[in-house]
Each structure stands twice: as C-alpha cells, then as structure tokens.
C-alpha cells in the first residue's frame, strides 16, 4: 500500500476554487512531527477571528498536545472507533459551545453554526501550515462534559485530531486503509443541495 507521501487526492471540481480548499482532506494517520504550543496558539488565533451571531463567540476549546495529561483525558472521551486511529495524532481538541445568549435566558440557535465558522478558520490556517485536521462526532459528550467540568449551559459538540501530513496508512484497519489511500474525493453535485427557487427533494 502507499505511504502518505505517495497519496495524491483528486478533487474533481466543476468550477475553479481556492487551492487550499481543493487540497484539504481528513487523514487518519499523521507524521511523527510534533505540534508545538505556538502552533496550537496560531490555530486558536485563526479561530478567534471567526464571525459569530451578535459577536457572542460561543465556542470553547479544550486542547492538549500529545504526551500531556490533557491529551490523554481528551483521548479517553473518544468513542472506541476513533480511539482506534486518533492516538497517532499530535494534538487533540474538544469543541464545545455556549447554548444560551449572553443574558443566559434565551437559547442561542446559531451557536453550533458559529462553532463551524470557527473551525473553518482553523482548517484554513492549518492548511497554510501543511497541517492536517480530522474532525470527529464520535465522542462521549456526557463524559467529556463531566471530565472537563463544563457547566450545563455548554454542550460538547466535537473532537478534533491534528497532525502534519504523513504517517503509514497500513497502520490502520483494512477498511480505513482503503479509505485513506482512495484517490478521488466525492461530493454531492450543486444541483442536489442548492436551488435557485423553491426547495426540492433530491
């Protein structure tokens, strides 16, 4: 099987887009090159400047670099499937959002959207640093909330694995290895999700 350095991902776009978007993908193996605290702070700074409804900035991040107790605590909140591969990442995050507006009384319906915008900034910054990002829904939300002492008005939404591109796909299970080395990326066509008129079921 191919090594990561040999993997070429093809992104068959219908219109010309930024190269940084075309080359983005979410590996499950990473190089052994460590991520520094400065690297982490640069990524967080990029996320910090994301837009948010009423500028509430509802995102909250727990981050840990590999080899630290925080990394291990985050890892222990992942589900079994993600634990099977995420241990080779060089940094892990837990992402949460504040569910209420600043007055604490009204629900912030846009908070999860804003967390997504935050991570969009982070991913673009990571790409510019030749760093890979793999976001995960597979975490024990309640365990993470308790482990990191989040108050009730916060919801732990996702985990994220970071590392520099590299690593050996054969370290993965057979099914995941096939996904890792698959060359052509796939997405729905625009006609399936964007309508210049009424909503359509596709």
- Could you tell me the residue range of the domain that residue 92 belongs to? 27-179
77 assigned to some structural domain: yes
Q: Which residues of 47-64 are buried (b: 16+ CB within 10 A; e: fewer)?
A: beebebeeebbbbbbbbb
87 assigned to some structural domain: yes
**Phi, psi angle pair for 153, to nearest 5°:** -80, 5
Q: Which carries the bigger pLDDT value, residue 200 or residue 48?
A: 48
CATH of the domain at 32: 3.40.109.10
Phi-psi map region of 57: left, alpha, beta (phi>0 left; psi -120 to 50 alpha): left
Number of folded domains in the chain?
Answer: 1
44 assigned to some structural domain: yes
pTM of the model: 0.92
- DSSP reduced 3-state for 112: helix
* 91, β-bridge pairs: 65, 162
106 assigned to some structural domain: yes
Q: What is the pLDDT confidence band of residue 1, given thresholds at 50, 70 and 90?
A: very low
Interval 26-83: pLDDT, tens: 999 999 999 999 999 999 999 999 999 999 999 999 999 999 999 999 999 999 999 9
Considering the chain, what percentage of its residues have pLDDT values greater than 70? 97
126 assigned to some structural domain: yes
d(CA 8, CA 165): 12
- DSSP reduced 3-state for 121: helix
Reading the block at residue 182, the tokens are 């698959």
Identify the pLDDT of residue 2. 45
d(CA 89, CA 29): 7
Q: What is the pLDDT confidence band of residue 93, given thresholds at 50, 70 and 90?
A: very high
84 assigned to some structural domain: yes
Asked if 114 and 50 count as a contact pair (C-beta separation under 8 A), the reply is yes
Q: Is 44 exposed, middle or buried (0-12, 13-18, 19+ CB in 10 A)?
A: middle
Within 10 angstroms of residue 66's Cβ, the number of other Cβ atoms is: 19
Reading the block at residue 63, the tokens are 């981050």
Q: Is 168 exposed, middle or buried (0-12, 13-18, 19+ CB in 10 A)?
A: middle
Q: What would the 3-class secondary structure string for 67-89 be?
A: CCHHHHHHHCCECHHHHHHHCCC
138 assigned to some structural domain: yes
102 assigned to some structural domain: yes
Averaged pLDDT, 159-166: 96
């Amino acid at each position: 099987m191919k090594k990561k350095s040999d993997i070429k991902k093809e992104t068959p776009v219908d219109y010309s887009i930024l190269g940084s978007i075309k080359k983005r993908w979410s590996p499950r193996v990473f190089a052994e090159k460590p991520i520094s605290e400065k690297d982490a702070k640069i990524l967080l700074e990029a996320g910090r400047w994301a837009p948010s409804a009423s500028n509430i900035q509802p995102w909250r991040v727990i981050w840990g670099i590999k080899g630290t107790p925080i990394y291990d605590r985050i890892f222990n909140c992942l589900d079994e499937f993600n634990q099977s591969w995420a241990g080779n990442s060089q940094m892990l995050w837990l992402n949460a959002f504040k569910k209420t507006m600043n007055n604490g009384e009204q629900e912030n319906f846009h908070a999860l959207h804003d967390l997504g915008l935050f991570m969009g900034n982070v991913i673009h910054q990571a790409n510019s640093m030749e760093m890979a990002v793999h976001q995960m829904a597979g975490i024990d939300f309640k365990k993470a909330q308790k482990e990191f002492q989040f108050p009730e008005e916060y919801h732990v939404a996702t985990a994220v694995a970071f590392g520099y591109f590299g690593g050996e796909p054969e370290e993965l299970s057979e099914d995941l290895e096939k996904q890792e080395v698959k060359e052509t990326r796939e997405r729905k066509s625009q006609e399936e999700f964007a309508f210049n008129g009424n909503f359509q079921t596709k």
